[in-house]
Each structure stands twice: as C-alpha cells, then as structure tokens.
Amino acid sequence: MGQVDNHGRKSDQRVGRRHSTIGGTMGTLTARQVAGYFLAQMDDDSGDTISNLKIQKLVYYAQGFHLAIYGKPLFREPIVAWAHGPVVVSLYHVYSAYEDKAIPKPEAIDFSVYSRTVRKLLDEVWCVFGQFSAWKLRNMTHDESPWKDAPRNGIISHKSMQVYFKQFVN
C-alpha cells in the first residue's frame, strides 16, 4: 500500500512520468475528443455515469497531467475557473442539455485519433480520478492552487497547472 495524499489517493496511483519514454503529443485533440474518450470508458453494467460536472473535472485533470509530463497542452481550449471548479466553456455547452444527469456513452468513437501515449495518459487519469463522484472531484479541485489562485470566471493558466501537477508525477 502506498501513502495517501490529501485527496484520498494512494501515492502509487498517481499518474507517472513513464509515458515520457514514449514521447509527447502535439496537442491537436479537442476538449470534446478528450471528453469522448472518458465517456467511452463508462461501464454500463456497473452503473458508471458521468455528468457534465464530472466530465469537466476529468478533462481538467487530463490537461494538467499532460502539461506536467510533456510541457504542452493536450487540447487548446481554455479552462476557466467557475464557481464549481475548472470548466472548458465550449464543452460545458455541448453537454449542458443533460443538466446534472448522466451523459450517454458515445455509440461510436474513433480511437485512432488518440496516440498510444495519449491513450495511456487518459487511461491513467480515468483509473485514478474516474472512481470519484462529480462532487468529490469538484471539492478536490477547490483545494488545488490552479483553481484557487485563478480569478473567478478567469482562465486557469497552463503554467499554473503545469507547476501544480508536476508534484504528482514521478
């Protein structure tokens, strides 16, 4: 068993730097493609659901760890510090019709748009953070400096995410 950090994560569950041996990515994905990847991971049989609130936090964590490991963004859309945590505004509007309900799993997804490196990173983010409820993730982001230090409704800088998430990669 590893040590537990202040969010209840075991230290051996953190996203690792081992991906850097495979090489970084070009940052050519969209936030919607990153969200689609996470939505495709839902296991209908186990009752997994992802709301708009939860998908926003998963996309934020993916961006933060990608910045920490590779020094460049996974997607280009800005992340904004809203009252309930980090949000990609364009992505929020895509899923806003679902309100706080479950977003359906995509019927089809083209996994070829995700490099092997990106898939491994997203899989790790899913394994570590996908287990948490939307409100747990929301509360976690409220304890993290990228959201805390950004002006309300202002952009959370890539630099602040990179610096913050670097402490969790090994």
Has residue 72 been placed in a domain?
Answer: yes
Has residue 71 been placed in a domain?
Answer: yes
Tokens describing residue 143: 């304890």
Residue type, 54: K
Has residue 4 been placed in a domain?
Answer: no
Q: For residue 103, give its domain range.
A: 26-166
What per-residue confidence (pLDDT) applies to 20? 33
149 against 47, higher pLDDT: 149
Res. 27: pLDDT tops 70: no
Has residue 11 been placed in a domain?
Answer: no
Res. 1: pLDDT tops 60: no
Closest CA to 29 of 102, 110, 114, 105: 114
What per-residue confidence (pLDDT) applies to 14? 47
Has residue 14 been placed in a domain?
Answer: no
Per the CB < 8 A criterion, the answer to whether 158 and 65 are in contact is no
Res. 129: pLDDT tops 70: yes
Has residue 6 been placed in a domain?
Answer: no
Res. 31: pLDDT tops 50: yes
User: Which three-class secondary structure string do you get for the chain?
Assistant: CCCECCCCCEHHHCCCHHHHHCCCCCCCECHHHHHHHHHHCCCHHHCCCCCHHHHHHHHHHHHHHHHHHHCCCCECCCEEEECCEEECHHHHHHHHHHCCCCCCCCCCCCHHHCCHHHHHHHHHHHHHHCCCCHHHHHHHHHCCHHHHHCCCCCEECHHHHHHHHHCCCC
Has residue 16 been placed in a domain?
Answer: no
The structural domain count of the chain equals 1
Q: What is the pLDDT of residues 64-116, one digit of tens each?
A: 999 999 999 999 999 999 999 999 999 999 999 999 999 999 999 999 999 99
168 against 45, higher pLDDT: 168
What per-residue confidence (pLDDT) applies to 46? 81
Q: What average pLDDT does range 137-160 have in this prediction? A: 98
Q: What is the pLDDT of residues 40-76, one digit of tens each?
A: 999 878 888 999 999 999 999 999 999 999 999 999 9
What per-residue confidence (pLDDT) applies to 21? 28
Has residue 20 been placed in a domain?
Answer: no
